[in-house]
Chains A and B, each alone.
Chain A
């Protein structure tokens, strides 16, 4: 029987209150859902958050700027580059630090790599959520591993990078790094073709996702949803093109916006297309990098050439542990894999921010869940929840 047939049989059962989680394998963290069920169908959902609350805002207010930089990658552990970037941009804007162009290219390049790793992990785990038990999840992880190796080589860490710093970036890439990245960007489109060959037209996948968890434009906008979820619902809103920051105006790329329902399949399509665009951005970054690759820079230094062009530096202003930011307040946001990741800072001119506030895309996107789940069967809960791509540490902070 299909869901509509089940609904129209007119059979009534008592409502049931069921607790889902917090230790549910498909919640990618710890989320508890209090479900009110009418037979198989969800009547009401109450997400219970806070199991991963680590008081990130309090910690920000009680540490120096320099100390807190090392912590913020944990806010959203799958896209640490973006959290560092949001904080750095807010601090730079209040202080008025000019970041060199070369550093901006490094930031864009590594952030886009980070976007690919985040989407790849989502793709693998989402297929598990849908019940793909044929080993598919390991294919995206194969490519993700290559990117994580590159991150490890440049930042010293595979996930908690702490690479983007206030005023610039941490350091140059090691020898041969750019060649490896170039090779990766050349072969990656074919890898995406492989995933798409398995997933996109897969009849089971289509049955599980088409028309499931429909998020209309109006609902998405009322709830403040951003990122791929919003673009899959047909709203063209991407900070990279809408409110261009950093060196994005110099790069050519499309923002995939899907017309139509905004169901879970649209969200899948949007993310897969985004990975291709990110790959193009990385390619352009390698080509346009001011001063050339790290190897070329090293060659120049070895030949005794002095690098004096301010655009070719890695930091605008060398920061030390006693870093102070001028008094003032500011809000800065970047487009993270999950949406608008913002950072609201009030500084009093000391070495500690007076007030620190995160605007997390996961938190805002998750609030729409209670709207999406109502009326869907239990089996679809994880298909819908997974498609929003929520990272629980990002929700709870």
Chain B
């Protein structure tokens, strides 16, 4: 079992921008191409550009990536990623967008901040809540960022690599618990 953060995938070297990277560059949005995930273009955008980039990719006639499959949070060795899998209802296009927050830039005891898409794109709503719950990414601007799978008063984010299970998780001692 590999709990060791050192075994996380290594950071890839820089690559030429792909089709969607070029498209975003034309719109004035900077992106960085990462190594493809099984032949699917993968790009990294900064947290500030995320909303604008995804709005363009979703609505523009050229791309029309209107199906947000999932938002996944990943605890990598030295960063916490928010990964968006986009597909289209009209074509075979596919794109993976990542927002990478280096762990060094997160203040002690705080969660990484990523802008929320939930207000414009309802599909993101529950996925962001789930990622907040399990991986601990705070989506700024989410209308109802509350735990969704774990109980409301749960502590910690179980899919973090440094998470330790409570000693007595089954028998709750909290008198104010909702359970």
Contact = CB atoms under 8 A, between A and B. Distances in A.
Interface of A: 49-50, 53, 55, 57-58, 61-62, 93-94, 221-224, 226, 235, 237, 242-243, 327-333, 340, 342, 344, 346, 348, 350, 352, 354-355, 357, 359, 363-364, 367-368, 371, 396-397
B88 to A, nearest CB: 9
A359 B69 contact: yes
Contacts of A329: 9, 37-38
B151 interface: yes
A223 B122 contact: yes
B22 interface: no
A298 B74 CA distance: 48
Nearest to B74: A355
A330 B70 CA distance: 13
B123 A364 contact: yes
Interface in B1-37: 1-2, 7-9, 37
Given A57-B159, A354-B2, A368-B122, 11 more contacts: A50-B147, A221-B66, A224-B67, A224-B123, A242-B92, A243-B92, A328-B9, A329-B38, A330-B37, A344-B70, A352-B2
Contact of B38 (A55, A331, A355): A331
Contacts of B40: 330-331
30 contacts: A50-B147, A50-B149, A50-B150, A50-B151, A57-B134, A94-B38, A221-B66, A221-B67, A222-B122, A235-B89, A242-B92, A243-B92, A328-B37, A330-B40, A331-B40, A331-B96, A340-B69, A342-B69, A342-B85, A344-B83, A344-B85, A346-B9, A348-B2, A348-B9, A359-B69, A359-B85, A363-B130, A364-B123, A367-B125, A367-B126
A140 to B, nearest CB: 31
B149 A53 contact: yes
Interface in B68-93: 68-70, 72, 74-75, 83, 85, 89, 92
A329 B38 CA distance: 7
Contacts of B147: 50
Contacts of B70: 342, 344, 357, 359
A330 B38 contact: yes
B126 A363 contact: yes
Nearest to B6: A348
Interface of B: 1-2, 7-9, 37-38, 40, 66-70, 72, 74-75, 83, 85, 89, 92, 96, 121-123, 125-126, 130, 134, 147-151, 158-159
Contacts of B38: 93-94, 328-332
A57 B158 CA distance: 10
A344 B150 contact: no
A327 B1 contact: no
Given A344-B83, A354-B7, A363-B126, A49 B72 contact: no
Contacts of A93: 38
Nearest to B147: A50
Nearest to A242: B92
A311 B123 CA distance: 41
A350 B7 contact: yes
B125 A346 contact: no
A346 B37 CA distance: 9
A346 B149 contact: no
Contact of A49 (B7, B8, B37, B148): B148
B9 to A, nearest CB: 6
B83 to A, nearest CB: 7
A341 to B, nearest CB: 10
Nearest to A348: B7
Contacts of B85: 331, 342, 344, 359
Among the interface residues B92, B121, B123, which one has the most CB atoms of the partner chain A within 10 A?
B123
Contacts of A396: 149
B92 A333 contact: no
Contacts of A371: 122
Contacts of A344: 70, 72, 83, 85
A243 B37 CA distance: 17
B19 to A, nearest CB: 17
A97 to B, nearest CB: 13
A367 B9 CA distance: 33
Contacts of A61: 159
A116 to B, nearest CB: 26
Given A222-B122, A342-B85, A352-B2, A327 B69 contact: no
A58 B121 CA distance: 27
Nearest to A222: B122
Nearest to B130: A363
